Amino acid sequence: MIRLENVNKTFRGRDGTAVEALRDISLDIAAGEFVAIVGASGCGKSTLLRLVAGLVPTSSGQVMLDNAPVTEPRTDTAMVFQAATLLPWADVLRNVTFPMRLMHRHDTKTDDKARALLATAGLGGFETKLPRELSGGMQQRVAICRALLQEPRVLLMDEPFGALDALTREEMSLELLRLWSTRQMAVIFVTHSISEAILLADRVVVMSPRPGRIAEIIPVGLPRPRAFEQEGTEEFQRCAARIRALIFRGRDANAA
Ligand SMILES: Nc1ncnc2c1ncn2[C@@H]1O[C@H](COP(=O)(O)OP(=O)(O)OP(=O)(O)O)[C@@H](O)[C@H]1O
Ligand SMILES: [Mg+2]
């Protein structure tokens, strides 16, 4: 469904210097697949998501969605950014439903669906609050609800749980998996947490930095539905050890 073919991305800085953010990325993601991306800071994870979202063009190579090149943002793709990007003047409910209005998909059921999503995210009763009245973690949960309300075929999540406390993070992970299992939705989920990546994903893409490349793709053999108790299993430990080895190898190679 999503196909990256030999994708390269080089940014030109204002001083004319070039930063090679991604080199020769090839990756296939099936409809309904859950893929996690891990790797050191600066290895191009956010850039990869932006390319798939159609927010930035590749320098060379192609991003394909259903066999058509991605050249601009699409209505069937939703993104949760690393920092919650809410409209400061709109209340929580308006923020969550805003893209639906923009796409002329807002109907009589949209507000009810939004309220239900907010309730599952622990935000019931906050519908009329403004973003500045919420904590950082609450704002991020609003941004997640906004993406899920669009019922996207492709959901791009850039460290969506980074601002949440450990307990809320676990709850939101399980809720995301529950929603994902009821929809045909491909997810690309960027995280710094190795255990989060393993517990959520079908495959974990490990990236190495400078330039950003795919070091290895680890298939996760844990049965679904997933539960945190699986952290104790041999398969979990195998995946975690492999991912750690790859990340540290990248670091050592860069230090040398
Ligand atoms: N708009 C831009 N202009 C210039 N350079 C950029 C731009 N966006 C990203 N870069 C560079 O590309 C590289 C990859 O950045 P990116 O944000 O994709 O990394 P990341 O893996 O998401 O890092 P983090 O884990 O810290 O979020 C970095 O060296 C960064 O400086
Ligand atoms: Mg990033």
Q: Is the CB of 89 under 6 A from ligand 1?
A: no
Neighbours of ion ligand 2 (CB under 5 A): 46
Flag whether 40 is in a domain: yes
Pull the structure tokens for residue 141.
């949960």
Looking at the structure, tell me whether residues 141 and 209 fall in a common domain: no
Check residue 84 and give its pLDDT: 79
Looking at the structure, tell me whether residues 63 and 88 fall in a common domain: no
For residue 35, the domain's CATH number is: 3.40.50.300
What is the tens place of the pLDDT at every residue in 34-83?
999 999 999 999 999 999 999 999 999 999 999 999 999 999 999 999 88
Looking at the structure, tell me whether residues 82 and 70 fall in a common domain: no
Distance 107 CA to ligand 2 centre (A): 34
217 vs 110, 204, 207, 234, CA distance in Å? 38, 6, 9, 18
User: Confidence band (pLDDT; 50, 70, 90) for 109?
Assistant: very high
Q: Which ligand is nearest to the CA of 44?
A: 1
How far, in Å, CA of 210 to CA of 10, rounded? Answer: 11
Q: Which ligand is nearest to the CA of 55?
A: 1
Domain final residue, candidates 152, 171, 186: 152
Looking at the structure, tell me whether residues 135 and 89 fall in a common domain: yes
Mean pLDDT over all residues of the chain? 94
Domain final residue, candidates 93, 125, 152: 152
Q: Is the CB of 16 under 6 A from ligand 1?
A: no
Looking at the structure, tell me whether residues 25 and 66 fall in a common domain: yes
Top mutation candidate among 14, 25, 47 for ligand 1, by most atoms within 8 Å of CB: 47
Above pLDDT 70, what percent of the chain? Answer: 97
Distance 125 CA to ligand 2 centre (A): 31
Number of domains in the chain: 2
Domain range spanning residue 42? 1-74+202-219
Q: Tell me phi and psi for residue 54, to 5 degrees.
A: 80, 20
Q: Is the CB of 47 under 6 A from ligand 1?
A: yes
Check residue 152 and give its pLDDT: 96
If you take atom 13 of ligand 1, which residue's CA is the nearest one? 21
Q: Which ligand is nearest to the CA of 209?
A: 1
Check residue 184 and give its pLDDT: 87
Q: Is the CB of 205 under 6 A from ligand 1?
A: no
Check residue 163 and give its pLDDT: 83
Flag whether 83 is in a domain: yes
Looking at the structure, tell me whether residues 54 and 86 fall in a common domain: no
Flag whether 236 is in a domain: no
Check residue 222 and give its pLDDT: 98
Which atom number of ligand 1 is nearest to the Cα of residue 47?
18
Flag whether 235 is in a domain: no
Distance 85 CA to ligand 2 centre (A): 14
- The DSSP annotation for 179-217 comes to HHHHS--EEEEE-S-HHHHHHH-SEEEEEETTTBEEEEE
What is the tens place of the pLDDT at every residue in 159-209?
999 888 888 899 889 989 998 999 989 999 999 999 999 999 999 999 999
User: Confidence band (pLDDT; 50, 70, 90) for 13?
Assistant: confident
Which atom number of ligand 1 is nearest to the Cα of residue 48?
18
Q: Is the CB of 46 under 6 A from ligand 1?
A: yes
Flag whether 195 is in a domain: no
Flag whether 193 is in a domain: no
If you take atom 28 of ligand 1, which residue's CA is the nearest one? 42
Looking at the structure, tell me whether residues 81 and 64 fall in a common domain: no
Distance 33 CA to ligand 2 centre (A): 21
Domain final residue, candidates 112, 130, 152: 152
- Cβ neighbours of residue 35 closer than 8 Å, sequence gap 6 or more: 29, 186, 187, 188, 189, 201, 202, 203, 204, 205
